[in-house]
Structure 1
Amino acid sequence: MNPRRLRLLSANIQAGSSTRRYSDYATRSWSHVLPAGNKRGSLDAIAQLAGEHDIVGLNESDPGSLRSGFTNQTHYLAQAGGFDYWSHQPNRRVANVASSANGLLSRLEPREVIDHPLPGRVRGRGVLMARFGDGDDALTVAVAHLSLGAGSRASQLAFIAELLHDHPHAVLMGDFNCPIDRPEMSTLFQRTRLQPPSFNVPTFPSWRPQRAIDHILIGDGLSGFNARAVPAAQSDHLALSLELDVPDHALR
C-alpha cells in the first residue's frame, strides 16, 4: 500500500513579536512584555502558512498573558488555520506579563498527547508528544524547545532519547538552539532511530539565516522530502517545512 504523504512545519513564532535585525532585541524589547505591535497580523500570517500543512509544531507560542492580550496563540492559530486538533504545553511564565509554550496543530486526530518537563539547570523547558496510531509502530511526533546551554541540552536530549528509543516512526521537531553536529546531539542519534538530516537548512536569524538550529528529525522508518525554510511572519526564526511519507499502518 502506498504511504501517506504529510506536510510538517516547525516554527518558533516568538509570540508574534517582530525582530528584523539584532538591534531590535534592545529597541523592541517592549514587544516581549506588552500587547502592542501588530501581533494579531503576525499570527494571521503564521496561520496562513500553517494552514498549508498537516502537522505543525510551535515554539514560543504565548498561552495567554499580557503580551498576547491574554490570547492563547496556539488555539488562535488552530482556529485561523483550520485545524481540528490542537494541544499546548505552557513552560515558562513571568508573572502574568509573559508566558511561553510548545504547541501542536494537527489535521489528524492524535490517539494520545503527553507533555513532559525537560531537565536543565533552569526550569521551564518541555517536550510535547503526540501519538497518531496504535502500538510500537505508531507515528509519534514530539515538539521541543531546548536550552541555550550545552550542558542542559545534553541532559534534555538524553531524556528525549529515552522517550523515543526504538521508535521507527518518530519525529522530533523544534528549536534545538544548536546545529546538528554539536557533540550533545550524538546521544540522540546513538540511542534512537532518528536520523541526521541529509543537509542543513539555515533558519536563524531570519533576516540573514546562517545557522541551522531548527530541525525536523525523522526515524528510519519514514522518508522526508523537500525540506525548506520559510518566513514565519516577523519572527527571528524562519520556519522549517518538510514533506513526510508515513506508512499507512503507522497511522492506524
Structure 2
Amino acid sequence: MSSTTEGACQEFTVLSHNIQVGIGSRRSRHLVLHGWRYLLPHQQSLGNLERIGQALRDADIVGLNEVDAGSYRSQYVNQTAYLADKAGFPYWTQSRTRNWGEIAQHSNGLLSRWPILEVRRRALPGWLRGRGLLEASIDLAGHPLSVVVTHLALSRHGRFRQFEELAEYLAGRQSLVVLGDLNCGARSPELRLLLRASGLQQAEPPLATFPSWAPRFSFDHILCSPDLEFVDWRRGAEPLSDHLSVMARLRWCHGDAHAPSGPGQSGKRASDVPQ
C-alpha cells in the first residue's frame, strides 16, 4: 500500500499478472489437460479468482492480462470487475482486445485505489488482430500518473513491430508505468529497443515468471519513466496461473512538495469508467 515518509518521495506499489482466464495451471500437464477451459466454463475458476483477488490486496495499482470481460467460458463473470470487488479496489477499467461474442471476451484490465480520470485504448499492429494497450490517467491525490497495460505477440517479428510503435507512443513521457506480459525476456533485443528508444527503465535483476511451476522466462514486466525509481521488486510465490505475478514499489525520485499523501477522494468510481 502507499505510504508517506517525512522528507521522502511518495511511494506506491504496482503489480502485473497474467491470470490465464482464471484457469490456474500449476503443472506442465495442465497446459494440455486444462486446454478446454479456455473455451468452456469450469467449477474451479471462481475459487481460483478468489485466491487471485487475495493476492492482489497488497498492491495499489494492478495490470491484468488474459481476463475475460464476461462470456460463456467465464460463466458471464466480468473478471476485472470481480477481482476489483474481491481485492477491494474502488476503481477499475478494461479493454476488450478480441471480442468473440458469447464464446470469449479477451481483455486487459486495470485496478486502482486512486481515481481513474481518463482511459485510452490503442490497437497495436500484428498479423492477428487483438493486441493493444490500455492506458489510464490516475490521480494520486493531485499527482498525475499514466499507467499502460499491454500483452504483446508470441512471435518475435510481431513483437518488434509492436515495440517500435510503443517506443514512438511512449518516448519522453514522464510519470509513466508500463505493466504486462511482453512475451519476451528482460535481455531480449526487442525489449532493449523499447528501453533505448523510449527512455523507460526496468527493474533489476530480471525475475523469471513463466511457467509458474518452474520459472525460466522473464515474460512479465514492470517498466517506468526516469522520474520514477524502483524501491523494491519481487515476484509472487504461489502459482495461481501459468504465470507468476510481479510487484514493484516505486517512488518519484524528485523532491516534489506536491507528491500525494494517499488515495484520492475525487473522480469517477469503478463502475462509472467507460469500458
- 1:119 pairs with one of 94, 105, 125: 125
Determine what percentage of the aligned residue pairs are the same residue: 39
Distance in 1 of aligned mates of 2:207 and 2:66: 20
CA-CA distance at 1:70 after TM superposition = 0.6
Q: C-alpha displacement at 1:49, in angstroms?
A: 1.3
| CA distances 1:89-135 after superposition (whole Å, capped 9, x unpaired) | 0112334222211000000112211111111111011111112259x
Structure 1 residue ranges without an equivalent (≥5): none
Provide the rounded CA distance (Å) in 1 between the counterparts of 2:113 and 2:101.
Answer: 33
Q: In the alignment, residue 29 of structure 1 is paired with which amino acid? A: G
Q: What is the aligned partner in structure 2 of residue 166 from structure 1? A: 172
In structure 2, the partner of 1:93 is 99
**What do residues 190-233 of structure 1 show as CA deviations (whole Å, max 9, x unaligned)?**
22120133210110000001111100011111011221110465
In the aligned structure 1, how far is the partner of 2:53 from the partner of 2:28? 25
Query: Quick one: distance in 2 between partners of 1:60 and 1:24?
Result: 17
Q: Please tell me the residue identity of whatever aligns with 1:101.
A: S
Between 1:240-249 and 1:17-26, the stretch displaced more is: 240-249
The corresponding residue for 2:40 is: 34
Per-residue CA deviation, residues 137-195 of structure 1 (Å, 9 max, x unaligned), is 94211000000011111111122122211113211110000002211122211221201
Q: Distance in 2 between matches of 1:163 and 1:138?
A: 18
SS across alignment from 1:6:
strand
Name the residue aligned to 1:210.
216
Hey, what does 1:147 align to over in structure 2? 153
Tell me the TM-score normalised to structure 1 length: 0.93
C-alpha distance in 1 between matches for 2:67 and 2:190 = 26
Secondary structure, in 3 states, of the residue corresponding to 1:184? helix
| DSSP-derived class of the 1:132 partner | strand
Match of 1:193 among 194, 199, 203: 199
The one-letter amino acid of 2:113's match is: R
**RMSD of aligned Cα (Å):** 1.9
The aligned amino acid for 2:32 is A
Q: Distance in 1 between matches of 2:54 and 2:25?
A: 20
In the alignment, the residues of structure 2 paired with residue 37 and residue 202 of structure 1 have an alpha-carbon distance, to the nearest angstrom, of 30
**Equivalent-residue separation in structure 2 for 1:114 and 1:58 (angstroms):** 16
What amino acid is aligned across from residue 25 of structure 2 in structure 1?
T
Which amino acid in structure 2 is aligned with residue 228 of structure 1?
Answer: R
Find 2:18's aligned residue among 7, 12, 17.
Answer: 12
2:184 is equivalent to residue 178 of structure 1:
yes
Give the Cα separation in 1 of the matches to 2:149 and 2:237. 19
Query: SS in structure 1 opposite 2:245?
Result: strand
CA contact (8 A) 1:46 1:232 kept: no
Secondary structure of 1:210's counterpart equals coil
Displacement of 1:52 after TM fit? 1.4
Give the alignment partner of residue 103 of structure 1, picking from 103, 109, 128.
109
Question: In structure 2, which of residues 43, 50, 56 is the aligned counterpart of residue 44 of structure 1?
Answer: 50
**What one-letter code is carried by the residue in structure 2 that aligns with 1:65?**
S
Task: Report SS of the residue matched to 2:26.
Answer: coil
Number of residue-to-residue matches in the alignment: 250
For residues 49-103 of structure 1, what are the alpha-carbon distances to aligned partners after superposition, in whole Å with 9 as ceiling and x for unaligned?
1121100000001101111101100001111111111000011233422221100
Compute the TM-score of the two structures, normalised by the length of structure 2: 0.85
Contact persistence 1:18–1:235 (CA under 8 A): yes
